[in-house]
Chains A and B, each alone.
Chain A
Amino acid sequence: MKSIRIKWHIIVFLAPAVLVYTAVMIFPLFNTLRLALYTEIDQTRVFAGLQNFQTLFGDPRWSESFWNALGNNFWFFFIHMLVQNPIGIALAAILSHPRLRFAALYRSAIFVPTILSFVIVGFAWKLILSPIWGIAPEIMDTVGLGAFFRPWLGLEETALTTLALISVWQFVGIPMMLIYAALLSIPEEILEAAEVDGITGIAAFWKIKLPLILPAIGIISILTFVGNFNAFDLIYAAQGALAGPNFASDILGTFLYRTFFGFQLQLGDPHMGAAIASAMFGVILIGVCIYLFGIQTRLRRYQF
């Protein structure tokens, strides 16, 4: 007879993290999901089932705003994947080159914007790109490109892309750092063995290093995905809650803010807001699942 002994020390050590995480993350999450199932009639909260979701996806006005925000969000993510990650990888590859001088200086300089507040970044770029006081028009003038300057943040076609590129500028340091670390962890012997086989320079990067850092790139992609679909601050700081012009830069975060808290004469609707938040949660959950089950399981890992 062997009685099962409760391992108290495990419970004791896990308790603080579990309690704090439950109180500040899990409980609010489920409460938001619950809030989405209610509505308010005459100042009293009544259970409404999936009616909020029906409005969100069924009502032409709500669904138009929602799909517009979701589409914009995908474009925002697409620009990040297309620009931020390749640049991050390239920078990391250059930085890890053993003969590069002042590597530490470049590394910090590129990483610094990441720790700046969104408000500062949004405000600084708004000033830089301002057609009235900005330095962008003057710089472009001096190199003879003055005719190509446009008030990018104010035009429907370019506002979102401009904001995405500003965000890329701010966060390119993160993929750079993660991939830089991954590159440094590749043992010298492997590269030397490849050199013996005649694989050097650029070929060594494509054939040896890139396959070895793929897991890091996967992690970065999923971090970018979650970050982009939760994004709000930069758009709000640069364009305000109406995410102009004509909602061209409206993403799920700003749409949620306007709905939940209200805007100017529009009163806040916490229940519709919670429905949007649940939809955002769903989108991110699906994205993360696709990554976890579709991509990560297929990535090969190498043990050194």
Chain B
Amino acid sequence: MKRTLRLAVLMTTTMAATGAFAQDVTLTIESWRNDDLTLWQNVIIPAFEADNPGISVEFTPSAPAEYNAVLNSKLEAGSAGDLITCRPFDASLSLYEDGHLANLSDLDAMANFSDVARSAWTTDDGSATFCVPMASVIHGFIYNADAFEELGLSEPTTVDEFFAVLDAINDEGSYIPMAMGTNDQWEAATMGYQNIGPNYWRGEEGRLALIAGEQSLTDEAWIAPYRQLARWGDYLGNGYQAQTYPDSQNLFTLGRAAIYPAGSWEISNFNAQADFAMGAFPPPVPTDGQECFISDHTDIALGLNPASDNADAARTFLEWVGSEEFARIYSNALPGFFSLTDFDIEQEDPLAQEFVSWRGECSSTIRSTYQILSRGTPNLENETWNASAQVIRGAESAEDASARLQEGLESWYAPHQ
């Protein structure tokens, strides 16, 4: 003990004497991506530290479901890390308004992002951007290519073909047609409703009209996705009502289910777990030959805690997060998280490349409930989880669910009153 102390004192004095490492700081990152811990530790952080001696970075994630609660408590208590991983839209906006995120509009790296990429972390009037966008995730369906070949099936492009494929898998009987459960509820909304919905409400057009109050959730475009979801229940595995998210992932990667309604964030995990060939198709369109839309959701960004003692070092790190080098490392280390920068990033993973290629064929939109519409009580996003799970279980009709959501929205959102 005494010896280490003496050694430490000795080292600090020599360092101070040389002056080369005047600032030896450690930055801590708060995040909900506990799945990515090893990637940050082994790939991303070493790449940064190699170029920036004197700054070391620690990645300290918490569980996704608890992240917001944990982060808020830490920020209130003043014990949060220097860098804060930002949820999109209101959760981060309210942190900024409460003074828990710094204004980053003056970062040079901000020039590398389009307005749409920054929209999720910019104030309503566009005056300040408070997080550096990191990645978006794309929804679609991942399928077991070996099973498709075995059963002689091909990727469906229309809704009718989609259900024909599901019927064929169901009739043949050796695979569960689709791996999804309703126990955790969010998959039903995120991988169900928000996945297939943009084709009905025509992406940004419908989403912005809903925010402006020109469309309502009881319009056909917003009920139709629920009608399709109501048909999904027949193709999910036995006891899907109690099936959790990890259950669904395992059913698919063990090769027991043929199709997985997915977000692109599953790719790296699936690559590691599944020992069969996988393919992906975008959400099938309702009418043949119509324009297609995909959910390309701005999901994750990185902000600065104004209470940080190491703001300068943290800004250096954030500049790097906005650089082409980070974009290349991040999107290839985590296939399925697509960089939001304007740089042209080559995807090495074929499945990730398939997902990102849809950006060229279809129009992108973000999840309909995230911007502004989840500000009040009842919270539209949480209500959508409940409604989607209810509709799939057959406990509520598509019309009733939409009417309930619309009523909830009308109770607090002025443009709909």
Interface residues as binary, B382-400 with A (CB distance below 8 Å gives 1, 0 otherwise)? 1001100110010100000
Enumerate chain A interface residues (CB-CB to B < 8 A). 43, 61-62, 126, 129-133, 137, 149-156, 239-242, 244-247, 261-268
B186 within 8 A of A: yes
User: For A263, what are the chain B residues with a Cβ–Cβ distance below 8 Å?
Assistant: 68-69, 379, 382
B182 within 8 A of A: yes
Which residues of B from 72 to 113 have beta carbons under 8 Å from A? 72-73, 87, 89-91, 94, 97-98
User: For B185, what are the chain A residues with a Cβ–Cβ distance below 8 Å?
Assistant: 240, 242, 244-245
Q: How far is the CB of A39 from chain B (nearest CB, A)?
A: 13
**CB-contact partner of A244 in B72, B251, B379, B389, under 8 A:** B389
CA distance A153 to B382 in the complex (A): 20
Q: How far is the CB of A257 from chain B (nearest CB, A)?
A: 8
Contact (Cβ within 8 A) B68 A151: no
10 A-B pairs closest in CB distance: A131-B239, A154-B241, A154-B242, A151-B242, A151-B239, A261-B69, A266-B379, A265-B374, A265-B381, A151-B241
Q: How far is the CB of B8 from chain A (nearest CB, A)?
A: 37
B369 within 8 A of A: yes
Tally of contacts, chain A with chain B, CB under 8 A: 114
Q: How far is the CB of A60 from chain B (nearest CB, A)?
A: 9
CA distance A266 to B139 in the complex (A): 23
User: For A61, what are the chain B residues with a Cβ–Cβ distance below 8 Å?
Assistant: 377-378, 408, 411
Contact (Cβ within 8 A) B241 A264: no
The residue on B at minimum CB distance from A241 is B65
Size class of the B contact interface (CB-based, 8 Å): 35 or more
Given the interface pairs A244-B185, A265-B370, the reply to whether A131 lies near B243 with Cβ below 8 Å is yes
B237 within 8 A of A: yes
User: For A132, what are the chain B residues with a Cβ–Cβ distance below 8 Å?
Assistant: 237-239, 243, 247, 251
CA distance A62 to B378 in the complex (A): 9
The residue on A at minimum CB distance from B411 is A61
The residue on A at minimum CB distance from B237 is A132
Contact (Cβ within 8 A) B393 A245: yes
Contact (Cβ within 8 A) A154 B247: no
B240 within 8 A of A: yes
Contact (Cβ within 8 A) B239 A264: no
Residue with the highest number of chain A CB atoms closer than 10 Å, among B65, B237, B408:
B65
Given the interface pairs A131-B242, A264-B381, the reply to whether A245 lies near B68 with Cβ below 8 Å is no
User: For A247, what are the chain B residues with a Cβ–Cβ distance below 8 Å?
Assistant: 386
The residue on B at minimum CB distance from A129 is B242
Enumerate chain B interface residues (CB-CB to A < 8 A). 65, 68-69, 72-73, 87, 89-91, 94, 97-98, 181-186, 237-244, 247, 251, 369-370, 374, 377-379, 381-382, 385-386, 389-390, 393, 395, 408, 411
CA distance A133 to B238 in the complex (A): 11
Given the interface pairs A131-B243, A154-B243, the reply to whether A242 lies near B182 with Cβ below 8 Å is no
**CB-contact partner of B72 in A133, A154, A242, A261, under 8 A:** A261
**CB-contact partner of B242 in A130, A242, A267, under 8 A:** A130
User: For A241, what are the chain B residues with a Cβ–Cβ distance below 8 Å?
Assistant: 65
User: For B411, what are the chain A residues with a Cβ–Cβ distance below 8 Å?
Assistant: 61
Contact (Cβ within 8 A) A262 B238: no
Q: Interface SS of chain A: helix, strand, loop or mixed?
A: loop
CA distance A240 to B389 in the complex (A): 14
User: For B379, what are the chain A residues with a Cβ–Cβ distance below 8 Å?
Assistant: 263-266
Contact (Cβ within 8 A) B242 A152: yes
Contact (Cβ within 8 A) B183 A242: no
Contact (Cβ within 8 A) B184 A240: yes
20 A–B contacts, CB within 8 A, in A order:
A43-B97, A61-B411, A126-B244, A129-B242, A130-B239, A131-B243, A132-B251, A151-B242, A152-B242, A153-B183, A154-B183, A242-B382, A242-B386, A246-B389, A246-B390, A263-B69, A264-B382, A264-B385, A265-B89, A265-B374
Given the interface pairs A244-B389, A262-B69, A262-B72, the reply to whether A154 lies near B239 with Cβ below 8 Å is yes
User: For B378, what are the chain A residues with a Cβ–Cβ distance below 8 Å?
Assistant: 61
Contact (Cβ within 8 A) B68 A264: yes
Q: How far is the CB of A26 from chain B (nearest CB, A)?
A: 22
Q: How far is the CB of B212 from chain A (nearest CB, A)?
A: 20
CA distance A263 to B408 in the complex (A): 17
User: For A245, what are the chain B residues with a Cβ–Cβ distance below 8 Å?
Assistant: 182-183, 185, 241, 389-390, 393, 395
CA distance A42 to B127 in the complex (A): 19
Contact (Cβ within 8 A) B91 A265: yes
CA distance A268 to B73 in the complex (A): 10
Q: How far is the CB of B62 from chain A (nearest CB, A)?
A: 13
User: For A129, what are the chain B residues with a Cβ–Cβ distance below 8 Å?
Assistant: 242
Contact (Cβ within 8 A) A43 B98: yes
CA distance A61 to B409 in the complex (A): 12
User: For B386, what are the chain A residues with a Cβ–Cβ distance below 8 Å?
Assistant: 242, 244, 246-247
Contact (Cβ within 8 A) B72 A246: no
Given the interface pairs A245-B182, A246-B395, A261-B72, the reply to whether A266 lies near B241 with Cβ below 8 Å is no
User: For B186, what are the chain A residues with a Cβ–Cβ distance below 8 Å?
Assistant: 264
User: For A239, what are the chain B residues with a Cβ–Cβ distance below 8 Å?
Assistant: 183
- Given contacts A132-B237, A244-B182, A262-B72, 6 further A-B pairs with CB under 8 A are A130-B242, A242-B185, A261-B73, A264-B68, A264-B382, A265-B381
